[in-house]
Structure 1
Amino acid sequence: MQAITQWVATQDQQRLNVKLWGDPEKPALVLVHGYPDNQEVWEPIIQQLIDDFYIVTYDVRGAGQSSLPRCIKDYRLEQLSLDLESVVQAVLKDKVFHLAAHDWGSIQSWESVTEAKFRDQLLSYSTISGPCLDHAAFWMRNQFKQNKSNFFKQLTKSWYIAAFQLPWLAPTVWRFFKPDQWSKVLEQLEHKKNLPSNTNIASDGKHGIGLYRANFIPRLTQPRQRFAVCPVQAIVLKRDNFVSPELIDEMPKWVEDFHRVEVDANHWAILSQPELIATYIRNFALQYE
């Protein structure tokens, strides 16, 4: 399985490492990775989908081989959406495409999925373990008023978000993280051995903290009404240690054509159950060809 690699310049002069997989004549599918990952995390999924799609992956800014922004504000959702726009314009031109994303890749992709300018190009979106922050803020407010147990359940799962706001603690911890240690974390979470590991984990973990610092407080304190411009499939991981499945209950309010499937897995199901996740992505996308 070979990829063509190229560099794409963003509108603020960052450099994104982009990989193109498969036959350009097939339907286009863009995959956006989460934190603390890089685009390599998608390779088990790509193996399952390369016969059906022309696949585009990229290291988001601050991850993998892509460049490192200097300022926290450079990680804002608005800029991340412009990055996706830069990638698809460079490699797909005006071709329509499907989108699937995991974790922070999913959070940032919601910014594009709710932008009118993508309406005529984006065919479908499969979201995995990454709600729209605006939607999550509305959900948290409602739960605090009506169901405080759900509110505090998600708050407990999200303890690391507060820790990531501390200036020195989180970057220092990631500096000492080794790939074999990260492999053990994934094995414990997914209850499966020999999962692909991230050899760039220390750098990806350290620099990706900017995603949290640039976006969580503004979006959770001042949520916007954001409506999806395409059909959306939520792949819900029932044992997710970081995102409560209940957060998905908010999505139908903001998505006209909404689908939900459930998987008995933890947060990194894209590594532990790639065949099943790929099947859901494939079947959903091909409905809208």
Structure 2
Amino acid sequence: MSVHSPRPRVVTNGDVRLAVYEQGNPDGETLVLVHGWPDTHELWGHVIAHLEDRFRIVSYDTRGAGASSRPTAVSAYALPLLAGDLFAVIDAVSPDAPVHVLAHDWGAVETWEAVCEPGAGERIASYTSVSGPNLDHLGAWMRRRLAERRPAGPLAQAIASGYTVLFQIPVVGTLPFRLGLSRIWPTFLRFFDRMDPALVRPAPTLRADMITGLKRYRANIRPRLRHPRERRTDVPVQLIVDRRDLAVRPVGYEDTGRWVSNLRRRELPAGHWSPISHSADVARLTAEFVGDLRAETATDSADGASA
């Protein structure tokens, strides 16, 4: 885990208070980390240990998780509002320079929403996505595959995502978490993701985070898959594809290059929670991506100066 204690602060976005934590190299480029469900900022502890000497690292508890606000309405978890939280954090911690973003699971879904917004490149220099698709891209891909009578890929993803149907049913969807799944979470991840349960450090708010976080599924899954929007971005994007991911199948990224002008794809022999099980690899790929982009920018600047 990180050897330096994070410095906490609060960033507000309207009525929502976001618990934000800063650590690492204060002179390094800023890297913002966005966790998914049912995690908190603590998901990134193993990754941060590999990056804190190089980057100024900012992580935060997304709305509904950890020490951040927990709005009660399902509509408060719609993707535009979640993307607004990310932008609020970026504007607070790095008002004068764009940041790099690394995000996982629903954090990745939220960041996809942000990078496809107009002007996103002025605030986000690069985006590394782990196990969280753009829901509009996914919906458009499923529609294309079905129209071409090639249903195998969408069927595989639908089977993998079958649990999300349960999550969208009020009361019923919360039962596994009210009945104690949070108490055996490391053991569950051992069987689901083939990881060492000793690596898993559940947050004390895990049970509440599990239940509140289901509102993300209810607010966004059906609207975005049924009515996908055209969502494009010129922000450089790196996909870290976990080949053994049981929740987000790799085939679902087949069309991502249609929507992203600068796309890199890397694969890991990992399950869904690779930031825990393969933290060194996730950190290395993120740092390499940022370094390569910096080198490309320097080359372009040198070519322009010599022209």
Q: TM-score, normalised by structure 1?
A: 0.96
1:249 deviation in Å?
1.0
Q: In the alignment, what sits opposite 1:154?
A: 157
Q: Secondary structure at the match of 1:288?
A: helix
1 CA distance for matches of 2:178 and 2:290?
Answer: 39
Q: Structure 1 stretch 240-249 or stretch 177-186: which is displaced more? A: 177-186
Alignment pair present for 1:6 and 2:16: no
Q: In the alignment, what sits opposite 1:191?
A: 194
Q: Say if 1:38 and 1:60, in contact at 8 Å, map to a contact too.
A: yes
Partner residue of 2:136 out of 121, 124, 134: 134
Q: Say if 2:21 and 2:58, in contact at 8 Å, map to a contact too.
A: yes
Deviations 1:81-115 (A, max 9, x none): 11011111112112221011000000010011111
Deviations 1:227-286 (A, max 9, x none): 113111100000100011001111100011111111011001110110111100110012
What amino acid does structure 1 have at the position aligned with 2:34?
V
What amino acid does structure 1 have at the position aligned with 2:63?
R
Alignment pair present for 1:208 and 2:213: yes
Q: In the alignment, what sits opposite 2:48?
A: 46
1 CA distance for matches of 2:236 and 2:119?
Answer: 15
2 CA distance for matches of 1:190 and 1:206?
Answer: 21
2 CA distance for matches of 1:61 and 1:94?
Answer: 25
Unaligned runs of 5+ in 2: 295-307
Say if 1:140 and 1:196 are closer, same or farther in 2 by CA, change over 3 A: same
Deviations 1:141-185 (A, max 9, x none): 122233112221111001111111111012232123354410001
Alignment pair present for 1:102 and 2:104: yes
Aligned residues: 288
What amino acid does structure 2 have at the position aligned with 1:65?
A
1:7-46 superposed matches below 5 A = 7-11=10-14, 13-46=15-48
Q: Structure 1 stretch 194-203 or stretch 251-260: which is displaced more? A: 194-203
2 CA distance for matches of 1:10 and 1:175?
Answer: 29
1:197 deviation in Å?
2.6
Alignment pair present for 1:266 and 2:274: no
Q: Which has the larger radius of gyration?
A: 2
Deviations 1:41-70 (A, max 9, x none): 011000010011001100000011111002
1:136 deviation in Å?
0.3
Q: Secondary structure at the match of 1:173?
A: helix
1:191 deviation in Å?
2.2
Q: Secondary structure at the match of 2:11?
A: strand
Deviations 1:182-232 (A, max 9, x none): 000111233232122313321111000010111111111111111113111
1:31 deviation in Å?
0.6
Q: Secondary structure at the match of 1:116?
A: coil
Partner residue of 2:118 out of 116, 119, 122: 116
Q: Say if 2:153 and 2:252, in contact at 8 Å, map to a contact too.
A: no
User: How large is the Cα RMSD of the aligned pairs?
Assistant: 1.2
Q: Say if 1:176 and 1:202, in contact at 8 Å, map to a contact too.
A: no
Q: Structure 1 stretch 230-239 or stretch 184-193: which is displaced more? A: 184-193
Unaligned runs of 5+ in 1: none
1:117 deviation in Å?
2.4
Q: Say if 2:98 and 2:121, in contact at 8 Å, map to a contact too.
A: no
What amino acid does structure 2 have at the position aligned with 1:167?
P
Q: Secondary structure at the match of 1:206?
A: helix
1 CA distance for matches of 2:37 and 2:69?
Answer: 16
Partner residue of 2:171 out of 145, 148, 168: 168
Q: Say if 2:7 and 2:23, in contact at 8 Å, map to a contact too.
A: yes
Q: In the alignment, what sits opposite 1:278?
A: 283
What amino acid does structure 2 have at the position aligned with 1:187?
R
